[in-house]
Amino acid sequence: MRHGRQASPELSPPARSRPELSPPARPRPARPRRSRAVREATLGYLFVLPALAVFGVFVFYPFAENFRLALYQTPPYPGLPSRYVGLHQIGQVLTSSGFLQSLGSTLLFVVMVVPAGLLIGLLLAVAAHRRLRAMSVYRVIFSSTVVTSVAVSALVFGTLMDPVVGLLPWLGLNPSPPILQNTTWALPAIAVMSVWQFLGLSFVVMSAGLSAVPEEVLEAARVDGASERTVFWRVTVPLLSPTIFFGLVVATIYAFQTFGQVDILIGSSSAAFEHVNLLVYDILNTIEVAKTSGQAAVLSLALFLLTLGVTLLQLRLVERRVHYAA
């Protein structure tokens, strides 16, 4: 028997061991961080919600309602529906002689109050900045008008200007008619009272600005031979320009919103009322006496736009001369 060679089976190459690949790292879930941000935002809105509710009810809603009321004419008799007149009522109110008279008195009042209040407040702050004995007492006196109400101030100035028991007859001044009923001097008298009441805030703001002025800069100017007047106008005032600019904006808004002094000292029955009928008081008389809420809404919008325009003009023109320290 013939034996054949047995064929050997084919040997397969040894299997290579593949490196085990670790699964890709999963990014950390951002849910905890996001949920924390949501919780913080929710908590913040909960804290702000009461203030937003108050502003929404007493500021935002009345402001938006003015735009609607300005387009409707108030009926002559209560109970009747208001009539839509569009922009006709706005043009009629803004071109009336009463509005132009009130606008002129308001602008003149602002010109009398704002520069005087800022300048006197700055001078008082410079005087109180000196290191003298009992200066803290004067600082308290100068800033006391901040906490003085309009009613108390009007009562004091009304007594001082009284034609019988006031200060003017004691000084030998007895204008006829009395100063608060005089068509020439009533508005300056109200302006003097407003300046006096604004002095406290002006003094506090200017004092805060003076405390931030570097003393070594002032000493360097004095060493160079500059007089006190030169140091004040060439060094102190430029360094105080941001503070003065802030005071200018605040004083302008304060003067545009003056109301209580005219209401208490003058009143709508005085002969001088036409010359001191500021825009805020004109709005009150239009809605309380004339009972025309539509025209009062137009006057309110006019006062808002006037205040906004003057403020933007100040930001546009005056701020260019403000020197901010680096």
Name the token pair of 48. 């702000």
Residue 166 burial (CB count, 10 A)? 19
Alpha carbons 113 and 319: distance in angstroms, whole number: 20
Q: Using 50, 70 and 90 to split pLDDT, how confident is the model at 308?
A: very high
Average pLDDT over residues 90-110: 92
* pLDDT greater than 90 at residue 322: no
Q: Is 275 helix (H, G, I), strand (E, B) or coil?
A: helix
Exposed/middle/buried for 318, CB within 10 Å: 0-12, 13-18, 19+? middle
Alpha carbons 91 and 97: distance in angstroms, whole number: 12
Element (H, E) at 152: helix 150-160
Least confident of 105-109, 154-158, 245-249, 268-272: 268-272
- Spell 85-122 as b/e; 16+ CB within 10 A means b: eeeebbeebeeeeebeebbebbbbbbebbbebbbebbb
Condensed to tens digits (0 to 9), the pLDDT of residues 177-193 reads: 788 888 888 899 999 99
Alpha carbons 289 and 287: distance in angstroms, whole number: 6
What are 38's strand-pairing partners?
Answer: none
> Whole-model pTM?
0.80
Handedness of CA 194, 200, 205, 207 (dihedral sign): positive
Strands 83-84 and 72-73, sheet pairing: antiparallel
Average pLDDT over residues 106-118: 94
Q: What is the pLDDT of residue 261?
A: 87
Condensed to tens digits (0 to 9), the pLDDT of residues 197-219 reads: 999 999 999 999 888 888 888 88
Domains of the chain: residue spans and CATH: 38-84 (no CATH), 97-321 (1.10.3720.10)
CA distances from residue 154 to 203, 261, 316 in whole angstroms, order as listed: 21, 6, 35
Q: What is the pLDDT of residue 121?
A: 93
Q: Is 84 helix (H, G, I), strand (E, B) or coil?
A: strand
